[in-house]
Amino acid sequence: MQAAYYEATGAAREVLRVGELADPAPGPGEVRVRVHASGVNPSDVKSRAGLRSRQMPFARVTPHSDGAGVIDRVGAGVDAARLGERVWLWNAAWGRPGGTAAQYVALPARQAVRLPDAVSFEAGACLGIPALTALRAVQGWGGVAGRTVLVQGGAGAVGHYALQFARRLGAATLLASVSSADKAAVARAAGADECIDYRREDIVARARQLSGGRGVDRVIEVDAAANGARAAELLAPQGELVVYGSGAANFSLPVFPMLANNLSLHAFIVYHLPDAVRAACEAMLAAALADGTLQHRIAATLPLARIAEAHELVESGAAVGNVVVTLE
């Protein structure tokens, strides 16, 4: 099969190769998927760059945890009725050497979830990390029904889905922070009532004004290191800071306003969702996919041969939405 891989961490153009690798076979409890689209996430790019660890976790890694395709073989113990099923994939490259940047991937059957016919493979390749992260940030810890929510980075891959899920799950007032008028338009189309340009406006003053002086009930945070320190000023009493991303390793919070206002902090990584949480999120996602109202924002689609460009595009931060690699 044609596959992308790297055998050392480093710059995309230096370490990513595309070539012929052996077709995988599904083991017991696994399915093999003919991949049509492979999603590129910041996490895949950071792993390949060696930002998590310069050490290779395996001698050779085919990148990308997200993808979508069709089941073409099943291993022992898997219902043969799944043959031919369209699926989206999760955690394909998390703790595993074989990700979705390949014509075939074999992985545990539960990591291949039915994809409705009306949803494209490209959209299916955006679900495992961006959509599930957004759902968790919105539905967790009591959800957002009737509440005022601020989604930081509302035009980002996760932020764009977070706005849509917050709206679907009944947020009363939905705010987004953005850095340009174009990104504000993207966030509004996803359901934001108001956008705050966090580079040019005082985000705390604007968020307080837009929430009738109370502050917001939940901040969904893309960059804790940049924004976390002001969370206590943004949040209303009993408010929650839900962190899924950070541009740096550390951030600080002022303890006394946190105590005085009963504020809480939740942080999570989508790779390690508890089984029951993952099942709940998958069910909500299935409902959203079935009614056809979920918007997917695919910023760029590149063939496998141009995977290094796809990684560079994600690294640059210039893509407004997901970057997807397609497989012939």
CB of 159 to ligand NAP, least distance (A): 6
Contacts of residue 271, defined as CB under 8 A and 6 or more positions apart, other chains included, come to 65, 91, 94
CB of 259 to ligand NAP, least distance (A): 26
With CA atoms as reference, report the closest residue to 120 among 271, 301, 270, 282. Answer: 301
**Closer CB to ligand NAP, 158 or 307, in the complex:** 158
Contacts of residue 50, defined as CB under 8 A and 6 or more positions apart, other chains included, come to 9, 10
With CA atoms as reference, report the closest residue to 137 among 285, 222, 273, 242. Answer: 242
CB of 123 to ligand NAP, least distance (A): 15
* 93 HSE (CA, 13 A, CB side): 29
CB of 160 to ligand NAP, least distance (A): 8
Using the structure block, give the residue that is written with the tokens 């009532």. 193
Binding site for ligand NAP (CB under 6 A): 41-43, 129-130, 133, 152-153, 155-159, 177, 179, 183, 198, 222-223, 226-227, 244-245, 268-270, 317
CB of 301 to ligand NAP, least distance (A): 15
**How far apart are the C-alpha atoms of 270 and 133, rounded to whole Å?**
6
Pinpoint the alpha helices (H) of 88-180.
121-124, 132-139, 157-168
With CA atoms as reference, report the closest residue to 138 among 317, 266, 275, 308. Answer: 266
With CA atoms as reference, report the closest residue to 115 among 104, 130, 128, 97. Answer: 128
Beta 66-74 vs 86-89: how paired, if at all? Answer: antiparallel
Q: What share of the chain is helix, strand, coil (3-state, %, to 5)?
A: 35, 25, 40
**Closer CB to ligand NAP, 2 or 295, in the complex:** 295
**Closer CB to ligand NAP, 136 or 168, in the complex:** 136
**Closer CB to ligand NAP, 106 or 300, in the complex:** 300
**Closer CB to ligand NAP, 42 or 69, in the complex:** 42
CB of 269 to ligand NAP, least distance (A): 4
CB of 58 to ligand NAP, least distance (A): 21
Name the token pair of 327: 């497989």
Name the token pair of 207: 């968020």
**Closer CB to ligand NAP, 72 or 315, in the complex:** 315
Residue nearest to ligand NAP (CB): 156
Q: How many helices (H) and strands (E) does the chain have?
A: 12, 15
CB of 219 to ligand NAP, least distance (A): 11
CB of 98 to ligand NAP, least distance (A): 21
**Closer CB to ligand NAP, 135 or 171, in the complex:** 135
Using the structure block, give the residue that is written with the tokens 């007032």. 173
CA dihedral 136, 98, 84, 125 (to 10 degrees): 40
**Closer CB to ligand NAP, 260 or 269, in the complex:** 269
